C-alpha cells in the first residue's frame, strides 16, 4: 500500500514537472518576475476544494429538503469562492520579486538566497517557498511599494554545488480559499563549501614548489619560529632565548619567519583521510592562507588552480572544492 501510494505521488509530480518544463519554464527563466495575467496561476486551494465540497453537500441537502435557507447558504458559498478567486488574483497582481544574490555557505550551514519583494498595490499574505520544501519557506503578511529584502535558507547542508531550483511565490489571500501562485526560476548555481577541518599548516607546504629551493620561501617575520642565531649587538634584547642562555651562557636570538611571503601548494593527495575529510582540510588551508595573504596553488586530482591570492582566488578554489566529484585519477 505505501509503495503504491509513493508511486502515485511520484507519477503526479513527474507529470507536474513535465508540464512545467513544456509550458512554463521559458516564462519563468528570469531573475525578476512581476506577477501579471500571463504569469499568475489561480485555483482553489485544498481548503477551497473542501469548501466547494461542503457547498455541494449543502446544495444537495437544500434541494432534497426543499429548504430555501440551506440553498441560499450553498449559493452564498459558491459566490464567495468565485469572489475569492477575483480577490486573490488582484491581490497578487503587481507583485515583483527580484533575485538579488545567493550567499554560499560552509557545510553544515545553509546557503542564503536573497530576494527583494515589492508591490505597487498592497499585497497580502505572500509566502515564498523554495523547491516545494516546507523548511525553505518564508511568509510576509503585507508587501507594499517599499521594497522588502527577503532571505531564504536553502535546504542544502552537504558540500556540493547546486543549481537553484524553482521558487514558488504563493498567496492564499483571502481566507485561504484560493491559492494564487507563480514561479521564479533563477539560472545560477550556489555552493556549499566543505566544512573546516583544522590541520597544521606547515606540514602541507609542498616541496615541489619550484620557486623555493628549500621547499619554502621565507621572509623575516613574527609568526613562526624558524631557528636560533648568534646574537649580534644591533639585534636588541627582546628576541634572546633566555632558556639557552641559562643553560649555555651563550646569547642566542630566536628567528621568526612569516608565511606571508611563502608560496604554498595545497595538494589533495598530501591530505589524509577520506575524500570529504581531505576536502575539508584543503578548505581550511585555503581560508587560512587567504587570511594570511599567502599565495597558494590548489591541486586536485583533476584540476590545478594556479598560484594566486585574494578573495576571487579563494572563491574559485572553494567552488572547485565544492564541486569536486571524486578522484578519477587512481
Partner 1 sequence: MIELKNEKVINLSLCFIYACLVIFFSAHLPLPFISVLAGLCLWNAFITGKNIAKPNAWLANILAAGALGLMVFTIGMSDTVILFVAMLLLSSLFKLLQAKNKKHYHVITTLTFFSLSSVYLFSQTIVTTLTVSGLYILNFAVLGLLESKHNLKISAKQSSKLLLMALPLAIFLLLFLPKMPAFWQLPGPKLAKTGLSEQVDPFDIAKLSNSDELVFRATFSKQPPLTPYYWRAIIHDEFNGNAWLTSDFLKYNNQQSNQNLATEQNTLIANYSVIAEPATQKWLYGLTYSTSNSKNVDANALGLLRKQSYQAKSLQYNVASYQFSVNPLNEFEQNRYTYLGFKQNIKTNKLAMQLKEQVSNEQTFYNALLNYFVEQNFTYTLTPSPMSGNNTLDQFLFENKRGFCGHYASAAAFIFRSAGIPARVVSGYLGGEYNNDNNTLTVRQYDAHAWVEVYLQNKGWTIFDATAVVAPERLNGSLSQNQELNEEFKNNLDFGLVSLSNFAAINWLRLELEQLDYQWSSWVLGFDQEKQNDFLKSLFGNKTSWLVPLFVLITAALCFAVYFIYLNWPKTKTAKLPPIVKAYNEILHWGNKKNITSTDSLSPSQQLEFMAKKKPSASKELIEFKHLFENSRYANKPFTKERKTQAKDLIKLIKSSK
Question: By the criterion CB under 8 A, which residues form the site for partner 1?
Answer: 46-47, 50-51, 53-55, 57-58, 60-80, 82-84, 86-87, 89-90, 93, 121, 124-125, 134, 137, 139, 141, 172-177
In the complex, least distance from residue 177 CB atom to partner 1, rounded to whole angstroms:
7
The DSSP bridge partners found for residue 293 are none
Nearer to partner 1, 65 or 242 (CB): 65
| β-strands 296-299, 264-267 pairing | parallel
Tell me the DSSP string of 132-172: TEEEEEEEEEEE-SS-EEEEEE-S--SSEEEE--EEEEEE-
| β-strands 105-106, 189-193 pairing | parallel
Select from 237, 156, 228 the least CA-distant residue to 194.
156
Backbone angles phi, psi at 164, to 5 degrees: -70, 135
Q: In this structure, are residues 287 and 314 in contact, taking their beta carbons and an 8 Å threshold? A: yes
Q: In this structure, are residues 99 and 186 in contact, taking their beta carbons and an 8 Å threshold? A: yes
- Cell numbers standing for residue 43: 485555483
The answer to whether the peptide bond before residue 108 is cis (omega within 30 degrees of 0) is yes
Dist CA 99 CA 185 (whole Å): 10
In the complex, least distance from residue 128 CB atom to partner 1, rounded to whole angstroms:
13
In the complex, least distance from residue 56 CB atom to partner 1, rounded to whole angstroms:
11
In the complex, least distance from residue 51 CB atom to partner 1, rounded to whole angstroms:
6
In the complex, least distance from residue 63 CB atom to partner 1, rounded to whole angstroms:
5
Nearer to partner 1, 18 or 54 (CB): 54
In the complex, least distance from residue 53 CB atom to partner 1, rounded to whole angstroms:
8
In the complex, least distance from residue 55 CB atom to partner 1, rounded to whole angstroms:
8
In the complex, least distance from residue 38 CB atom to partner 1, rounded to whole angstroms:
15
Nearer to partner 1, 9 or 79 (CB): 79
Nearer to partner 1, 87 or 286 (CB): 87
Question: 251 CB contacts (<8 Å, ≥6 apart)?
Answer: 230, 231, 240, 245
**Residue 177 CB neighbour total at 10 angstroms:** 23
Nearer to partner 1, 51 or 193 (CB): 51
Dist CA 35 CA 4 (whole Å): 37
Question: 176 CB contacts (<8 Å, ≥6 apart)?
Answer: 45, 47, 48
Angle between helices 275-291 and 311-322 (to 10 degrees): 180
Angle between helices 46-64 and 68-92 (to 10 degrees): 160
Nearer to partner 1, 153 or 307 (CB): 153
Nearer to partner 1, 70 or 298 (CB): 70
Nearer to partner 1, 73 or 235 (CB): 73
Amino acid at each position: 500500500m505505501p509503495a503504491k501510494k509513493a508511486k502515485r505521488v511520484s507519477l503526479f509530480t513527474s507529470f507536474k514537472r513535465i508540464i512545467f518544463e513544456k509550458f512554463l519554464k521559458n516564462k519563468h527563466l528570469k531573475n525578476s518576475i512581476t506577477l501579471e495575467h500571463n504569469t499568475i496561476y489561480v485555483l482553489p486551494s485544498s481548503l477551497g476544494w473542501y469548501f466547494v465540497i461542503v457547498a455541494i453537500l449543502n446544495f444537495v441537502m437544500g434541494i432534497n429538503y426543499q429548504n430555501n435557507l440551506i440553498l441560499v447558504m450553498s449559493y452564498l458559498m459558491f459566490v464567495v469562492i468565485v469572489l475569492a478567486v477575483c480577490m486573490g488574483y488582484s491581490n497578487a497582481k503587481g507583485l515583483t520579486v527580484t533575485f538579488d544574490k545567493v550567499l554560499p555557505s560552509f557545510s553544515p550551514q545553509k546557503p542564503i538566497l536573497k530576494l527583494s519583494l515589492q508591490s505597487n498595490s498592497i499585497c497580502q499574505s505572500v509566502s515564498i517557498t523554495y523547491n516545494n520544501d516546507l523548511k525553505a519557506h518564508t511568509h510576509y503578511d503585507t508587501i507594499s511599494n517599499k521594497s522588502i529584502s527577503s532571505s531564504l535558507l536553502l535546504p542544502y547542508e552537504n558540500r556540493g554545488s547546486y543549481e537553484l531550483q524553482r521558487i514558488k511565490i504563493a498567496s492564499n489571500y483571502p481566507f485561504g480559499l484560493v491559492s494564487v501562485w507563480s514561479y521564479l526560476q533563477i539560472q545560477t548555481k550556489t555552493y556549499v563549501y566543505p566544512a573546516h577541518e583544522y590541520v597544521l599548516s606547515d606540514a602541507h607546504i609542498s616541496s615541489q614548489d619550484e620557486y623555493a629551493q628549500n621547499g619554502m620561501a621565507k621572509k623575516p617575520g613574527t609568526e613562526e619560529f624558524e631557528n636560533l642565531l648568534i646574537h649580534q649587538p644591533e639585534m636588541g634584547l627582546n628576541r634572546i632565548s633566555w632558556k639557552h642562555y641559562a643553560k649555555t651562557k651563550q646569547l642566542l636570538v630566536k628567528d621568526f619567519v612569516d608565511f606571508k611571503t611563502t608560496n604554498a601548494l595545497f595538494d589533495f593527495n598530501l591530505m589524509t583521510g577520506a575524500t570529504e575529510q581531505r576536502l575539508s582540510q584543503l578548505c581550511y588551508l585555503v581560508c587560512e592562507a587567504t587570511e594570511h595573504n599567502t599565495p597558494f596553488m590548489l591541486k586536485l586530482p583533476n584540476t590545478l588552480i594556479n598560484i594566486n591570492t585574494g578573495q576571487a582566488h579563494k572563491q574559485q578554489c572553494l567552488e572547485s572544492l565544492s564541486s569536486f566529484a571524486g578522484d578519477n585519477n587512481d
